[in-house]
Amino acid sequence: MAMSTPNSAVLVDWFERLALLLAWAFVIIVFGAVRPTTFLTWANFSAILGSQAVLVVVALGLTLTLTAGDYDLSIASVLSLAGTVLAVLNARNDVPIVWAIAAALAVGAAVGFINGFFVIYFRINSMIVTLGVGTFVHGVTLWLGNQETISGISSGLVEAVIVRRLFGVPLSFYYALTLCVIIWYVFSYTVLGRRLLFVGRGREIARLSGIRVDRLRWGCFIVSGLMGAIAGILYVGTVAAADPNSGLSFLLPAFAAAFLGATSINPGRFNPWGTMISVYFLVTGITGLSILGVSTFIQDLFYGGALVVSVTLSQIVRGREERLT
């Protein structure tokens, strides 16, 4: 009877942790071999890194609530609302950009507060509450922006998001990276992070252990709303306009990234590095396919296929009873 030795178990564990990074490297090697002069350029990687900050921030926001065992389906609507609030204040009412950003962040936190209120006080499933609140927020966004795409945003914001660069990469990437580092630190090195993990794994056990479960969950909703608002600010800074509808299309890719990220780095846990790497893994694949000139439907096949295959392989390799929910 074959038995796995401790060494092989360690190897499997490390392989699992690094699987997504290895898959990313594999994708880079394949496309680099096919199109070395265009794909393997710093300009290409700079464009890949600099253009996905919005998706990374939305996915990181989801990672927070998912870790606490909740869903926040309103985060993409918050993105649109925050962007519209910023644009209406700054472009239409000449409010200085700093105050407009502060207002957008406050609106994001307020939506998170409302989500938390209904989930915690009325004990309603977070999926239902955030679906309803998200739809309501979308209506508010359309009303507030008069259903228009608003341009004329202060050039200072655009400068600070995609025009200014560090090592050739737009600053938006570093903002997303900073948020990732903060969340990783909180999850890995603080009592708060540990408690959050307990809450997500077993709410009742956490409660019986003396953890203030409701407060933690509520806090996660507020921070998730804030993350949605930050994504909205980055989005407006990227496209130099606020579109009331576009934010919604980030929701499913962000969930895909969060779930894919949970198969790596800290397998079985929603984790910020896994989430960030999965965004760039998927986008690198799509960029490579675009450079090869394939149709967008092939890109969908890659996106969806990569998610399902990765999660399945992760479960097979681990062979553990715990499953992602």
Binding residues for other proteins, rule: CB under 8 A, are 35, 38-39, 41, 43-44, 46-48, 50-51, 55, 91-92, 142, 146-152, 162-163, 170, 238-241, 243-247, 249-250, 253, 283, 286-288, 290-291, 293, 295-296, 299
| Minimum CB–partner distance for residue 62 and other proteins (Å) | 15
Cα–Cα separations (whole angstroms), residue 162 to 38, 51, 145, 317 = 21, 8, 24, 40
| Closest CB 247 distance from other proteins, rounded Å | 7
Radius of gyration of the chain (CA): 20
Question: By C-beta, is 149 or 188 nearer to other proteins?
Answer: 149
Residue type, 234: L
**Judged by CB, which is closer to other proteins: 10, or 292?**
292
Residue whose pair of structure tokens reads 């203030």 in the numeric block: 212
Given the complex with other proteins, which of 116 and 244 has the nearer CB atom? 244
Residues 236, 46: Cα–Cα separation, whole Å: 20
Q: How far is the CB of 50 from other proteins (least distance, A)?
A: 5
Q: Please, which residue, 35 or 207, has the CB nearer to other proteins?
A: 35
What's the closest the beta carbon of residue 195 comes to other proteins, in angstroms? 34
Give me the least distance between CB of 142 and other proteins, in Å please: 6
Write down the least CB distance from residue 271 to other proteins, Å: 23
Q: Are 245 and 80 in contact (CB under 8 A)?
A: yes
Which of 20/91 has CB closer to other proteins?
91
Beta strands in 147-306 (DSSP E): 150-151, 165-166, 169-170, 241-242
Give the DSSP letter string of 91-156. Answer: IIT---HHHHHHHHHHHHHHHHHHHHHHHHHS---HHHHHHHHHHHHHHHHHHHTTT--EE---HH
Which residue, 4 or 147, has its beta carbon nearer to other proteins? 147
DSSP secondary structure code for residue 165 in this structure:
E
For residue 289, how many other CB atoms are within 10 A of its CB? 19
